Structure 1
Amino acid sequence: MNESNYKTLGLDESSSFEEVQVARKRLLEECNSDPQQKEAIEAAYDAILMERLRMRQEGKIKVPDRIRFAEKTSESSTSAPRVSLPAPQTPGWLQDWLDTPSRDDILWPSVVFLALAALAWFTVNSSATALGFSVAATIFFLNRKEHKFWRSFAFAAGGLLIGVLLGLLAISLVGQQSLGLSPERVNALVAIVTMTLLWFVSSFLR
């Protein structure tokens, strides 16, 4: 591979496809006022994609199935013309927030939040402690993706607030007496609802 293309993006040949995408997006945001630098970044990104496509065709690397290359269209039947429909456009601000998580991005947060939910439910008066660890875990998992601590902190704080409000609202609608729960169990249930939302935030946002 041409190492200069990777150096342009601040990466090396061992970088994953997701890292290449993140680097391209970050660099384009930083050089909005420099069209020449923007063109160099796009050229390096395209060159890396083409090189990885060639290596994929030769069986040297595996490319994620969600990435579509032009070669796949040639495998389909040519007996009937295919009408291409415009793809739905996702708002730019939403693309900046949503993530396409890998298996590990879902697995590890799931393990951590399940353990904290069990702690909140089975250990008396530990809901607040479990929630504190949940917020810290959310910040950690979000910050690990793009290294934006304050953005991760804001998402975690927002998830905590909304989760607590949703939990209290759900219990008030159902009625604490009808559930037959003690105050400690009510707190644990609110904590679990909040942890579920924080798990979603840490897995599917960035």
Structure 2
Amino acid sequence: MSEKTPYEKLGVSETAPFEEIQKAKDHLSHKHSDNFETIESIESAYDAIVMERLKLRQEGKVNVPDNIRFAEHEKKVSSYFSASNFNSIFDWVQQFIDIPSFNDILLKTGIFLALSLLVGFLRPQSSLTPLFLALGVFVNIYFLNKKENKLNRALLITLIMLSLGMIAGGSIIQLFYDSNITEEFSQSFVSIVVFFIFWLSSSFLH
């Protein structure tokens, strides 16, 4: 006796519409839910029919509803949406990133490095540290405003970066330095961290 065709296994004709094939597959799967081998045979028959119908569809010989899916197709669709979502996130992040020219980044590096060195060398004169920090704030506002001529935006970003720098600098001191460090050292170190964050924001933030 010859082996049954996929259509015969599901008990449908070769001209049966997909809705009938789907119902037959669901009915048999429910009926034989306790028999793994039978379920596997039903699934294989259904997949074979789907593959055949999709092949015929590509050849223009039969219409297959768009809601028909099988394992390989699901993986492709999933991969497509994953790549699409990744690209969307990348594009969203990219709109906030700026790629400065060599001269531009050299200028900003020189200014913030000079401020950092001055703060570091003048550590005993702690009264000057806030002055240089204020100068760094104005410099950062200037560079950010120069990009899009939006002063309010430049002020907001600078205040956020200033807060982040002070929090980061203070946290680093608490983690890696003992309680015996001087107030002058703390102010200088935090200011240098702030200048580094200012350099990042003014150079690479759009």
TM-score band by shorter chain is 0.5 to 0.7
Shift in Å, 1:93: 4.5
Q: Is the helix fraction higher in 1 or 2?
A: 2
Query: Matched residues in 2 for 1:92 and 1:132: separation?
Result: 34
Match of 2:185, SS? helix
Query: Matched residues in 2 for 1:90 and 1:100: separation?
Result: 18
Residue pair 1:139, 1:152 contacting (<8 A) in 2 also:
yes
Match of 1:97, SS? coil
Aligned match of 2:113: 114
Aligned match of 1:152: 154
Give the CA RMSD over aligned residues. Answer: 2.0
Question: Gaps spanning 5+ residues in structure 2: where?
Answer: 1-82
Query: Matched residues in 2 for 1:120 and 1:107: separation?
Result: 20
Query: Matched residues in 2 for 1:96 and 1:176: separation?
Result: 41
Query: Matched residues in 1 for 2:156 and 2:92: separation?
Result: 16
Any idea what the Cα deviations from partners look like across 1:62-106, whole Å, max 9, x if unmatched?
Answer: xxxxxxxxxxxxxxxxxxxxxxx9884445543332111111221
Any idea what the Cα deviations from partners look like across 1:134-174, whole Å, max 9, x if unmatched?
Answer: 11111111111111111111111100000000000010111
Query: Matched residues in 1 for 2:178 and 2:131: separation?
Result: 23
Matches within 5 A, 1:41-80: none
The one-letter code of the counterpart of 1:183 is E
Match of 1:98, SS? coil
Query: Matched residues in 2 for 1:105 and 1:129: separation?
Result: 24
Q: Determine which structure has more spread, i.e. the larger CA radius of gyration.
A: 2
Structure 1 outlier segments of 4+, above 3 Å: 85-93
Aligned match of 1:162: 164
The one-letter code of the counterpart of 1:122 is F
Shift in Å, 1:182: 2.1
Matches within 5 A, 1:1-206: 88-91=87-90, 93-123=92-122, 124-125=125-126, 126-177=128-179, 181-206=181-206
The one-letter code of the counterpart of 1:106 is I
TM-score by length of 1: 0.53
Query: Matched residues in 1 for 2:136 and 2:178: separation?
Result: 25
Tell me how many residue pairs correspond in the alignment.
120
Aligned match of 1:63: none
Match of 1:176, SS? coil
TM-score by length of 2: 0.53
Query: Matched residues in 1 for 2:91 and 2:150: separation?
Result: 18
Shift in Å, 1:131: 1.1
